[in-house]
Amino acid sequence: MGSNPPETSAMEAFFEKILRRLERTSAPGPKLKDPETFNGTKSRYSPWKFVLQQYVAGLDKDRAISVVLSYIQGERVDIWKEAFSRSNYENGAWKFDTLNAFWKALDTVFDDPNVKHTAQAKLESLKMKGSAQEFFTEFEQLVTLANYDLDNEFVLNILQRNAREDFVRNIYARGNIPTTFAAWKTRLLGLDKYRNMFNVIRHGPSRIPTAPTTQRPNSAPNPPPQPQPIPVRRDGTGIIYGGRGQPMDLDRKCIKCSAPKREKGSCGDAWHIPNRSSPNTQYRRRWEEAEESKGFFEEVRRFVKEDPELFLQQVQGSTPEPSFVEDST
C-alpha cells in the first residue's frame, strides 16, 4: 500500500511537537538544597513547613505528601508517622483531596499556638530603627512564624506602622501607594538607600585610620656622627679650654679675690674648684636660668661700671673667663 506524503509529513510534525514538549517537561531544573528533617519539636514546625512547601512546589499531590513525610524523622515522631500513613494511605494513593488538606492535618498535630502568639507580639513591636534590610529580614521571619501571608492586610498595616514614619509619609505624599508587600519593600529599601547616600554627601564617609607604614631606607644607614674637635683659644698664660669636661688651667687667677682656681679663695665663688659640690661638672650659663638671670645682668652692669677696660678684655678673650660664666654645681 502506498504512503500519502502529506499525511506522513503531518504525522512526523505531530510527533516532533510531542517530543519537544516532553523534552521541556522532563529537563531537570536546578536542584534545591535538601531541607532539614523535622523531629516533632513544635517551635521548629512553622519555619520547617515553610521550607518544605517551597521544596515540593510543582509536584503532584501524592508525590508531594510522600516527600514531606520522608522529612519527618526521629524517635518522637516515627510511631506517629507510621500510624498516620496507615490511616491516610490506601490503594497507592493518599486520601487527602488536596495538598492543603494534608498540611492542615499536620498543623493540627504540630502547630504550636504559643509560637504564633509570640511571633505576632514581636511583629507588632518591631520598629525600623536601623538598616531597612535588617528590619525586613526579621520582619519576614516573624510573619512566617506567625503563620501570616505577606500580602495579608494585617501584615501590610503593621509594616506601615512600624516602618520609619518619614519614609511612609514620603510614599503617601508621592501617590501611587503600594498594594503588595513586595512593592512596599522595594519602595522602603529605596528610600533607605537614598537616605544613606545623602548622609555620606552631607557628613562625609567615616574615616578609617590607616596603619602607619614603616619606611625602609634605600641605602645604608648614616654613620654615627664623629666628635668634633673643641675650639680653644690662647692667652699669655697658656691654653684656655672651652669646657665640656676638659681639664682646666688650675693656676688661673680669680678676678674677684686673685686666688688661683685650685684654691677656695676668699670670694666664695663657685669658679674656684674647692667651692664646687662635684668635681666633674660642666659650664652653665647663668643668664639662661630664669632664677639667676636678673642677678647675672646686675653683676654685668656693675662690672662694666667699675672696670670697663677689664670687661672689654675679658669679652675679647684676652683674660680668663669672668665669674658670670660659672661651672654648674
- Report the share of the chain in percent with pLDDT over 90: 39
Weakest mean pLDDT among 59-73, 189-203, 266-280: 266-280
**229 exposure class (CB count in 10 Å sphere: 0-12, 13-18, 19+):** exposed
- Residue 328 pLDDT grade (very low, low, confident, very high; cuts 50, 70, 90): very low
Which of the pair, 269 or 103, is modelled with greater confidence?
Answer: 103
Contacts 24+ apart (CB under 8 A), 67-75: 68/102, 68/106, 71/35, 71/36, 71/37, 71/38, 72/37, 72/38, 72/40, 73/37, 73/38, 73/39, 74/37, 74/38, 74/39, 74/40
The reported pLDDT for the residue numbered 112 is 82
Grid cell digits, residue 171 = 510614599
* pLDDT confidence of residue 14: 64
pLDDT digits (tens, 9 = 90+) for 299-320: 767 766 776 666 666 555 544 4
Query: Residue 71 — pLDDT band, cuts 50, 70, 90?
Result: very high
The predicted pLDDT at position 19 comes to 61
Q: What is the pTM of this model?
A: 0.41
Tell me, what's the pLDDT at 262? Answer: 80
Q: Going by C-beta distance under 8 Å and a sequence separation of 6 or more, which residues neighbour residue 189? A: 132, 133, 136
C-alpha cell belonging to residue 261: 682656681
For the stretch 80-98, pLDDT in tens is: 999 999 999 999 899 999 9
According to the model, what pLDDT value does residue 145 have?
Answer: 84
**pLDDT over 70 at 38, yes or no:** yes
Radius of gyration of the chain (CA): 51
Tell me the DSSP string of 169-227.
Answer: HHHHHH-----SHHHHHHHHHHHHHHHHHHHHHHH-PPPPPPPPPPPPPSSPPPPPPPP
- Tell me the C-alpha distance between 152 and 156, whole Å: 6
Per-residue pLDDT band at 65 (split at 50, 70, 90): very high
pLDDT band at 280 (very low <50, low <70, confident <90, very high): very low
Instruction: Give the contacts of 233 (CB within 8 A, at least 6 positions apart).
Output: 240, 242, 317
Pairing of strands 283-285, 325-327: antiparallel
Contact (CB, 8 A) for 237 and 249: yes
pLDDT at 30 over 80: no
pLDDT at 200: 80
Q: Render pLDDT for 203-231 as a digit per residue (tens, 0 to 9).
A: 766 554 555 555 555 555 566 666 565 55
- How do residues 240-262 score in pLDDT, each as one tens digit? 444 444 444 677 788 778 888 88
Q: What is the pLDDT of residue 70?
A: 95
Q: 189 pLDDT exceeds 70? A: yes
Which cell numbers hold the place of 229? 674637635
Look at residue 233 and tell me whether its pLDDT is greater than 90. Answer: no
DSSP E strands in the chain: the ranges are 89-90, 93-94, 233-235, 238-240, 283-285, 325-327
267: its cell numbers: 670670694
Examine the pLDDT at 147 and tell me if it is beyond 80. Answer: yes
CA angle 276, 282, 288 (to 5 degrees): 100
The predicted pLDDT at position 15 comes to 57
The region of weakest confidence among 29-43, 52-66, 148-162, 284-298 is 284-298
Classify the C-alpha dihedral 7-11-14-20 as positive or negative: negative
Which pLDDT score is estimated for 247? Answer: 47
Pairing of strands 233-235, 93-94: unpaired
Going by pLDDT thresholds of 50, 70 and 90, the confidence category of residue 144 is confident
Give the Cα separation of 265 and 258 in Å (integer). Answer: 8
